[in-house]
């Protein structure tokens, strides 16, 4: 192993991959096939004390255990993030073969840090993906993805653990906000635009690789529960609509998505093996590899093999649905046999090496996955230029142009649902605000302290949910009933009786609100927007153009009677899919 010819950038990538693969040990190959989280300090320094999410010092993870794909969660401001990335690449450069690190991230540009997303921080601020669905504008989505691509690459993020090509056909599902809605045709259009914005026409040194998820489509969850948790492990198809959920993935394949992530759920009652999709040979090899011919990287969702201990008695069990009785080694083997290339959220290279040494996994099987993983590193240009420029990160991320584009998108996503004729508000009326910033509202009217003194009230609420508090992860998922209840409903109805009220509801998932729609002078839906964006629409400084990306049911009984795999099928919806008003003359 004297000549390391894979560094010759003039040679075709397949040759460079084979050159490198031939020089790798089993241990180095096994390290490629895991994708755990990694941490940094608030100052952008490497963590070396065995702290942080991956439970290991950075140098030991990279140089000792041969791990070189990591998922970053917390990150400081862009300059410090970029400096951390360069320190990490310096560690990788000092290893035997100098294989650069690939960094991935969940969404980082939206307002809500719920489920699998992180707040925008130093990046530009955009509506949630469901808000991009409300614009129904593929060019806007492509522009967003191109801006996010530039900000990601500036700080050293190479893989987007998104888009979500899932369909929000079950309105109670907690992850609707990360989809483009419930219509497969619209989702297909926007998924393709999203991937082209991140990757370009083909994956290259300026791209961010998309790991499109969650194949073959999350969303049809029994009772709307999420398979992050054992009570939500079943995906059901009473409407015989399995293929409908594949449509956005077909668009992703056509757009060239580099990678795919299967979901946690297990299919029930449709003739496929009833195990989680990451373990599922029928789905990964049978449908993804053979039916669709997908030869990109397949990475499991996070934590299929081992439990995760947050400390303090808070343990997040492995999402080993349908294979709970298997040992960790047997789960790992089943994932590899299913056809997956990489295990998300796990760091078990030694276990995989032992499976090779014991003859249960062949080295040729590792080679098949490592070719795909190395190919993406080469296509992304990491071997040729692994470092980033902290000055450029500071200049580019969250720059005025990018922020202005995000702010316009926030406004374009807002949907006007009801208007009794008083919107847009005129002049500088006396305003009572509840849930919005009084300071922001003062730029639009005179803010008063009591409804009795106001000409109008403007109230903001999040869509209802049933809090769950059994653990850190579960508490971040907003699930359960969708209707306003009890004291909250009574307070809003009382406010609407006392003063003409404009209610704005953040629809991270559909809300059931027939009483409020009838009582309020105006009703708007937002999908991740600053107070100023909302107030601009209320006062007509920006005319509403958004359309509902999912229907709003009229009752919880109607929700329960819906088929979870079928779009817009509730009885007599309060507002149908695609509904949205504007202002006269707009």
Contact 75, 104 (CB under 8 A): no
Q: Of the candidates 34, 556, 39, 16, which has an alpha carbon nearest to the alpha carbon of residue 332? A: 34
* Residue carrying structure tokens 């907003």: 478
The DSSP result for 539-586, as a single string, is TTSS------SS-B-S-HHHHHHS-TTSSS--SS-SB-TT--B--TT-
Whole-angstrom CA distances from 84 to 43, 57, 76, 77, 345 are 8, 14, 10, 11, 20
Tell me which residue has tokens 């969650």. Answer: 214
- The DSSP-derived string for 374-398 is HHHHHHTTTTT-----HHHHHHHTT
Q: What are the helix (H) ranges across 286-380?
A: 328-338, 349-357, 363-379
Instruction: Report angle CA 157, 118, 86 to the nearest 5 degrees.
Output: 25
Instruction: Residue 435: name the closest of 506, 498, 484, 494 by CA.
Output: 506
User: d(Cα 538, Cα 532) in Å, to the nearest integer?
Assistant: 10
What is the distance between the alpha carbons of residues 551 and 573, in angstroms, rounded to a whole number?
7
Strands (E), 85-124: 102-105
Which residues carry out catalysis? 301
**Which residue carries 């419930």 as its tokens?**
182
Q: Is 211 exposed, middle or buried (0-12, 13-18, 19+ CB in 10 A)?
A: buried
Q: What's the half-sphere exposure (Cβ side, CA atoms, 13 Å) at 540?
A: 13
Q: What is the DSSP string of 6-44?
A: GG-TTS-HHHHHHHHHHH--HHHHHHHTEE-EE-B-TTS
- State the helix-helix crossing angle for 363-379 and 349-357, rounded to 10 degrees: 140
Q: Which residues pair with 267 in a beta bridge?
A: 235
């Amino acid at each position: 192993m004297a000549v390391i010819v894979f560094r010759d950038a003039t040679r075709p990538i397949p040759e460079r991959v084979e050159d490198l693969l031939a020089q790798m040990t089993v241990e180095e190959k096994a390290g490629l096939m895991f994708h755990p989280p990694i941490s940094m300090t608030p100052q952008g320094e490497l963590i070396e004390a065995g702290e942080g999410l991956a439970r290991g010092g950075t140098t030991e993870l990279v140089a000792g255990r041969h791990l070189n794909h990591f998922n970053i969660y917390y990150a400081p401001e862009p300059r410090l993030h970029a400096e951390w990335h360069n320190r990490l690449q310096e560690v990788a450069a000092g290893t035997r073969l100098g294989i650069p690190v690939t960094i991935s991230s969940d969404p980082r540009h939206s307002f809500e840090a719920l489920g699998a997303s992180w707040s925008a921080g130093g990046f530009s601020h955009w509506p949630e993906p469901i808000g991009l669905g409300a614009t129904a504008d593929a060019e806007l989505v492509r522009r967003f993805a191109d801006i996010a691509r530039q900000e990601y690459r500036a700080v050293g993020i190479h893989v987007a653990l998104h888009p979500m090509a899932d369909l929000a056909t079950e309105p109670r599902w907690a992850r609707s906000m990360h989809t483009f809605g419930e219509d497969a045709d619209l989702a297909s259009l926007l998924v393709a635009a999203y991937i082209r914005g991140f990757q370009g026409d083909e994956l290259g040194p300026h791209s961010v690789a998309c790991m499109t998820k969650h194949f073959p489509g999350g969303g049809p969850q029994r009772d709307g529960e999420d398979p992050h948790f054992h009570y939500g492990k079943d995906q059901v198809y009473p409407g015989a609509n399995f293929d409908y959920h594949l449509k956005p993935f077909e668009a992703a394949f056509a757009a060239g998505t580099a990678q795919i992530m299967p979901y946690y759920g297990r299919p029930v009652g449709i003739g496929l093996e009833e195990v989680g999709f990451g373990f599922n040979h029928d789905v990964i090899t049978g449908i993804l590899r053979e039916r669709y011919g997908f030869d990109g990287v397949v990475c499991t969702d996070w934590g299929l093999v081992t439990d995760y201990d947050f400390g303090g008695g808070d343990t997040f069990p492995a999402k080993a649905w349908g294979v709970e009785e298997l040992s960790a080694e047997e789960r790992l083997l089943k994932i590899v046999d299913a056809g997956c290339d990489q295990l998300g959220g796990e760091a078990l290279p030694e276990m995989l090496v032992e499976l090779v040494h014991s003859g249960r996994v062949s080295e040729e099987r590792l080679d098949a996955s490592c070719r795909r993983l190395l190919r993406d590193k080469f296509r992304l240009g990491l071997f040729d230029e692994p470092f980033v420029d902290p000055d450029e990160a500071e200049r580019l991320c969250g720059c005025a142009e990018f922020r202005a584009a995000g702010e316009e998108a926030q406004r374009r996503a807002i949907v006007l649902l009801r208007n009794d004729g008083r919107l847009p508000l005129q002049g500088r009326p006396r305003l009572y605000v509840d849930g919005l910033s009084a300071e922001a509202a003062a730029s639009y009217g005179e803010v008063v302290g009591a409804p009795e003194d106001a000409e109008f009230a403007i109230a903001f609420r999040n869509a209802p949910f049933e809090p769950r508090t059994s653990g850190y992860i579960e508490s971040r998922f907003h699930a359960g009933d969708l209707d306003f209840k009890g004291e909250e409903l009574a307070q809003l109805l009382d406010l609407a009786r006392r003063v003409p009220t404009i209610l704005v509801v953040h629809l991270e998932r559909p809300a059931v609100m027939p009483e409020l729609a009838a009582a309020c002078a105006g009703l708007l839906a937002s999908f991740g927007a600053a107070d100023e964006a909302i107030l601009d629409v209320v006062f007509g400084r920006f005319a509403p153009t958004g359309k509902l990306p999912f229907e709003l049911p009229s009752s919880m009984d109607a929700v329960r009677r819906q088929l979870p795999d079928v779009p817009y099928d509730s009885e007599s919806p309060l507002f149908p899919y695609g509904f949205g008003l504007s202002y006269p003359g707009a």
